[in-house]
Amino acid sequence: MQKIRLATRESALALWQTEHVAARLREAHPDLEVELVPMTTRGDQAIDQPLVEIGGKGLFLKELEVAMLEGRADAAVHSLKDVPMELDGPFELAAILERADPFDAFVSVKYEALEELPFGAKVGTSSLRRQALLRAHRPDLVLVDLRGNVNTRLAKLDAGDYDAIVLACAGLQRLGLGERIRERLTAPRFIPAAAQGAVTVECKQGDAEVHALLAVLDHGPTRACVRAERAMTRTLGGSCHVPIAAYATLNKEKISLEGLVGDAKTGQTVRGYASGPVSEPDKLGEQVADMLVARGADALLP
Ligand SMILES: NCc1[nH]cc(CCC(=O)O)c1CC(=O)O
């Protein structure tokens, strides 16, 4: 194989991530030609409608998967956080790259930290998980919907529409906007979404040549951790319709997984934690999911 074509969304973040994958591939395979195939998805077009109403996060993948099925691209690069817990169709995640900063960022023009926001301050985020966690720590805040790509959200903050917004640290850092992070909202106080900060490359199942080219980018420890996080979320029937948070770390041969289910309206949260061998990430994810349900999470799930 002389050339590999990488499908990507056209947002600045998606293009950065795909350029990063392209550079890593060229480094690993000096004779390989790597080409980007940028495309707009329905998720990018309908940015004025809430994601839940137009069909959820899978929308960001669909067009890229169709491009692979129709032979216009060989692989697709995604933020793993945006990839549904069950892939819909004959696809596989051939590579999961080493995770960058997994945490959320508090971003504000005037305020240094979440705790410094005045009573009743207006915070923009459309993520139900971020809303639930913000409510849990600061029940007084007024939470307002905020969609769009990272630059659009920052522009709305700078225009004075919000006192603060919450974004992923990884996205800001990748775009050279790391200095906009006022406070890192770290675990266990603020648990991220499953796989936040990790980039993945998807290809068609059974496409052995493409798979082999991509597999050299796979990072085993990241794959094990996000596997536990995604298994927990999947077991809870999670999608972006429910605030679910999952964060795993690997220490020697042991994965520790912290999980949370919340209610975006009330800020009520249920937490669970367990650890297990790196060889059984799915089992650990299921175990923490069961623990969350036993502690009352089912009352918060649909
Ligand atoms: N939902 C959009 C999205 N998907 C991935 C990232 C950030 C990068 C990452 O988590 O890898 C973002 C932006 C954000 O949440 O602020």
Residue 124 in contact with ligand 1 by CB distance below 6 A = no
Q: Are residues 82 and 137 in the same domain?
A: no
Determine the average pLDDT of the residues in 160-172: 98
Instruction: Tell me how far the alpha carbon of residue 226 lies from the centroid of ligand 1, in angstroms.
Output: 15
CA distance 59 to 83: 10
In a domain, 223, yes or no: no
CATH number of the domain within which 129 lies: 3.40.190.10
Tell which phi-psi region holds residue 148, choosing left (phi > 0), alpha (psi between -120 and 50) or beta.
left
Q: Are residues 144 and 261 in the same domain?
A: no
Q: Are residues 12 and 90 in the same domain?
A: yes
Determine the average pLDDT of the residues in 279-300: 95
Residue 200 in contact with ligand 1 by CB distance below 6 A = no
- What are the pLDDT digits (tens) for 178-237? 999 999 999 999 999 999 999 999 999 999 999 999 999 999 999 999 999 999 999 998
In a domain, 225, yes or no: no
Residue 125 in contact with ligand 1 by CB distance below 6 A = no
In a domain, 281, yes or no: yes
CA distance 43 to 40: 8
Percentage of residues of the chain with pLDDT beyond 70: 94
- Please report the pLDDT score of residue 46 as a whole number: 56
How many helical (H) and strand (E) elements, i.e. helices and strands, does the chain have?
Answer: 10, 13
Q: Are residues 93 and 206 in the same domain?
A: yes
Catalytic residue among 31, 44, 82, 263: 82
Q: Is the pLDDT of residue 54 over 80?
A: no
User: pTM for the full model?
Assistant: 0.94
Q: Are residues 72 and 135 in the same domain?
A: no
In a domain, 244, yes or no: yes
Helix spans in the chain (H): 12-28, 42-45, 51-54, 59-69, 128-137, 150-158, 169-174, 208-215, 220-235, 281-294
Are 153 and 162 in contact, with CB atoms under 8 Å apart? no
Q: Does an H or E element contain 251, and which? A: strand 244-251
CA distance 230 to 80: 10
Residue type, 168: A
- Please report the pLDDT score of residue 300 as a whole number: 86
Instruction: Tell me how far the alpha carbon of residue 193 lies from the centroid of ligand 1, in angstroms.
Output: 9
Q: Are residues 276 and 158 in the same domain?
A: no
51-55, 82-86, 142-146, 288-292: segment of lowest average pLDDT: 51-55
Q: Are residues 70 and 209 in the same domain?
A: yes
Residue 82 annotated to the active site: yes
Q: Is the pLDDT of residue 1 over 90?
A: no
Are 100 and 16 in contact, with CB atoms under 8 Å apart? no
In a domain, 76, yes or no: yes
In a domain, 7, yes or no: yes
Work out the widest C-alpha separation in the chain, in whole angstroms: 60
ipTM of predicted assembly, 2 dp: 0.95
Range of the domain at 122: 104-185
Q: Are residues 94 and 109 in the same domain?
A: no
Q: Is the pLDDT of residue 239 over 90?
A: no
In a domain, 293, yes or no: yes
Q: Are residues 8 and 86 in the same domain?
A: yes
Q: In what order do the strands lie in the sheet with 3-9?
A: 33-39, 3-9, 75-79, 199-204, 91-96
